[in-house]
Structure 1
Amino acid sequence: MEAFTLGVAVSFYKGDIVLKALLITLGVFIGLTLFTFQSKYDFSGMGPFLFGALMALVMTSFIGIFFPFGRTFDLVYASFGCLLFSGYIVYDTYTINKRLSPDEYIMGAISLYLDFINLFLNILRLLNNMQER
């Protein structure tokens, strides 16, 4: 179901923008994963802040259904989404590496998959807004 929804969303964008967004997302994902593996910092404290920011993003998108965003606000929204899901990639990678037992790795893999997809969609939105300007 997720792949079908993603396919429908991507079909509204030009092919070159989709490819750029995919390559940027892949680079960011690999870079943040390597950063998390080599870092000595405990990222487990980021969870409540990330969740609060995610709720703010969701509420903003609900408001956007009734009051459509202008291009500038949409650019800010996509940028904030990119930062948020980059933070979630670091948090979830740390959680998988340090805190989850082997029985919970499927949940961790699904979390990283959703982080990747959401980062990709926000980068796609960001690139599309930048190209339209």
Structure 2
Amino acid sequence: MRTDAPTSFFATYPDEIAQQRLFIQTVYAWMAGGLLATTLAAWTTLSIPAIFELSIQLRWVLAIAMIGLVIYLSARIESMRPSTAKVLFLLYSVLTGKTLAVLFYAYTTESLATVFLITCGTFGATALYGATTKRDLSSVGSFMFMGLIGLILASVVNIFLQSSALAFAASVVGVIVFVGLTAYDMQRIKELYATAAANEARATNYAIIGALALYLDFINLFLNLLRLLGRRR
């Protein structure tokens, strides 16, 4: 018997504004939970040499698993049980932490903390803009998505070129792209609320997919800022 489907997600919030606020709060709560899981996974990996070495050896396996999880979550979110969506999102967050631990090892703790705070401020301001602006950001989202494709291609090319200038330029563009995507995704989450309100049984699932979008924006914004501002050991 399935008992985890939240058939009354908005039951105690009859007012539409309160319902939207609840949905957005749920999105942010899951995003924060994902970031916490990532932080704990990275810290554990860095603290235990055996796990750190294993993460290095399995880095490509972890990367493929992460891509697979994002694709599966995005494709099956409509039919997935809420408990499954929660577990897969947290699993993705943990795998991200284990993968990033290898990168974090190259940077000082102080610079990691500094860049994290800068990312929080940048992300917060951009998300606030996306949530409050009256402008339709659909065109911004499309433009930034094209920029993301270009960024991926440049990163692949630079694997062979090993150009520091191209890496720097890609990081600058990466910051711009993920700032734009943060604003766009935040506005899109307000649209997700309408879908969730029409299908309360899957409201948690829509909150999870919204949290995943913002989580990815935050992580990638952090990584690009780290490459620009981080201080290596």
Q: What is the TM-score when the length of structure 1 is the normalising length? A: 0.89
Q: How many pairs were matched up?
A: 129
Partner of 1:56: 150
User: Is 1:84 equivalent to 2:177 in the alignment?
Assistant: yes
CA distance in 2, matches of 1:57, 1:28: 20
What is the aligned-residue identity percentage?
Answer: 35
- Correspondence for 2:167 among 74, 82, 87: 74
CA distance in 1, matches of 2:97, 2:117: 18
- Correspondence for 1:117 among 194, 203, 219: 219
Partner of 1:96: 189
CA distance in 2, matches of 1:40, 1:48: 18
Whose RCO is larger (CA < 8 A, sep 6+)?
Answer: 1
- Correspondence for 1:32 among 123, 126, 150: 126
1:15-40 deviation digits (Å, cap 9, x = unpaired): 11111110000001111111122211
User: Is 1:14 equivalent to 2:116 in the alignment?
Assistant: no
Give 1:64 shift: 0.6
Bigger radius of gyration:
2
Give 1:105 shift: 2.0
3-state secondary structure, aligned to 1:94: helix
1:72-125 deviation digits (Å, cap 9, x = unpaired): 332221111001000110011000013452232211110100110000000000
CA distance in 2, matches of 1:115, 1:53: 14
Segments of 5+ residues of structure 2 without an aligned counterpart are: 1-94, 197-202
Partner of 1:107: 209
AA of the residue aligned to 1:66: F
3-state secondary structure, aligned to 1:6: helix
Alpha carbon RMSD of aligned pairs, Å?
Answer: 1.6
